[in-house]
Structure 1
Amino acid sequence: MGSVVKRLLREAGQTFAEEAGIPLKDQPGAVFKLLVLANLLSARISSEIAMEAARQLFGAGGGTARGLARLTWQQRVDALGRAHYVRYDESTASRLGDMAELVQEHYAGDLRRLPIKAERDRDRAAELLREFPGIGPTGVDIFCREAQAMWPWLRPYFDAQTLRGAERLGLPADPKKLADEVAEKDLARFAAALVRVARDKRLAETVLKG
């Protein structure tokens, strides 16, 4: 592992899920919480606010598909409001409720069924994820970047934003070559760190200067 990559992981190598308090484990609650986070992060709003919104929703009882569906629309709006997720709070509250209902209807509340339904095919998984309200191409990328920590069949998952971060650091822009820079278990952390670099020029400069 090169010195730039080591510094990158040291400076920014925490997944967004972990920062939001979501353990990246192949468990029903964790996978559902990651889907909620991907939905929240898809909006044009800061990642800090989105992660706090996730924490507020989970704290209110929305950490499972059943729990989120049982929250009233107003309870979801209030949770988002406490996180200052205010520009999109009403529409997002509706989408999250619909999403939770779909997870219950199509996956019996357990998103670990999604890889089986997708036959562990990344393109098919993306199609299934886009069926959820609020999950478009950006949401798919967010979910899969982080879910590769739990689901090896997604690895390596580097989307356009991670590759922009890699280019900023002078790292390979080819996904397979980029994956060779870290151990397989660190791919999700690596991808998250590259996203942060793509968004933050100062962070990139810090990593490059050492």
Structure 2
Amino acid sequence: MSDPTKTIHRLLEHAGPTFAEEAGIKLTDKPSPLYRLLVLSTLLSTRISSGIAVAAARELTAAKLTTPRAMLDASWQDRVDALGRAHYKRYDEQTATALGESAEMLLADYSGDLRKLREEAGHKPDEIRKRLRKFSRVGPVGADIFCREAQAVWPELRPYLDKKALDGASRLGLPTDKDELARLAGNDALLAAGLVRVSLDREIAKQVLG
């Protein structure tokens, strides 16, 4: 049986950055980076490749749609066009609508600041997740994605290893109990992102296992 510590070390070498980092988001506990993470989580929630979703997030940033106010003030067509430049097809029109709806809700309910959502949730992971699911087209998958990445700056979410991450752990022969896995690896958003990539791509698993 392989050494789980060595497997985790190889995972972190081969699996690449977090999805937020790949999208050019320098994640901090501030309104704009957290909002951009919510947008990325929305984009990743659809049945589309993570590479296209990340590219779409970059296009929205290039269009300066990095705050809920900017997103809401942009026209629906502006949002569709930005998604289209990233080849975010099939879901571009629905997602453009959802991004506008979520921006409107975030402004109305939390003054555009996801830190207020965190405060009103009492820093409780289940409540944070519940509130995130109310945003348009986020749902359970998007809430998991947001929490997996946000654990880097919101400590109360750690360890956040959802079913996708634990599926990746199973593929690598690692423990599938999240607390045991966290003890081996530390509370690392990079670990969670790496495990998700393994669950989605058998080639990465092969590289990690040598």
Which bracket does the TM-score occupy, shorter chain normalised? over 0.9
Corresponding residue number in structure 2 for 1:120: 123
Structure 2 residue 16 is the aligned partner of structure 1 residue 26: no
Instruction: Report how far residue 114 of structure 1 moved.
Output: 1.3
State the distance in 2 between where 1:61 and 1:147 align: 22
Structural RMSD (CA): 0.9
Corresponding residue number in structure 1 for 2:198: 197
Structure 2-normalised TM-score? 0.96
Which aligned pairs between 1:172-183 and structure 2 lie closer than 5 A?
172-183=175-186
CA contact (8 A) 1:103 1:110 kept: yes
Which aligned pairs between 1:22-171 and structure 2 lie closer than 5 A?
22-171=25-174
Match of 1:166, SS state, is helix
Match of 2:184, SS state, is coil
Counterpart AA for 2:104: E
Gaps of 5+ in 1: none
Structure 1-normalised TM-score? 0.96
- Say how many residue pairs are matched: 207
Counterpart AA for 2:63: A
Structure 2 residue 9 is the aligned partner of structure 1 residue 6: yes
State the distance in 2 between where 1:23 and 1:113 align: 20
Match of 1:158, SS state, is coil
State the distance in 1 between where 2:146 and 2:168 align: 18
Counterpart AA for 2:201: D
State the distance in 1 between where 2:161 and 2:133 align: 18
Identity %: 53
State the distance in 1 between where 2:182 and 2:117 align: 24
Moved over 6 A (4+): none
CA contact (8 A) 1:13 1:190 kept: no
For residues 82-126 of structure 1, the C-alpha deviation after alignment (integer angstroms, 9 at most, x for no partner) is 000011111110000010111111111111111111001111111
Corresponding residue number in structure 2 for 1:15: 18
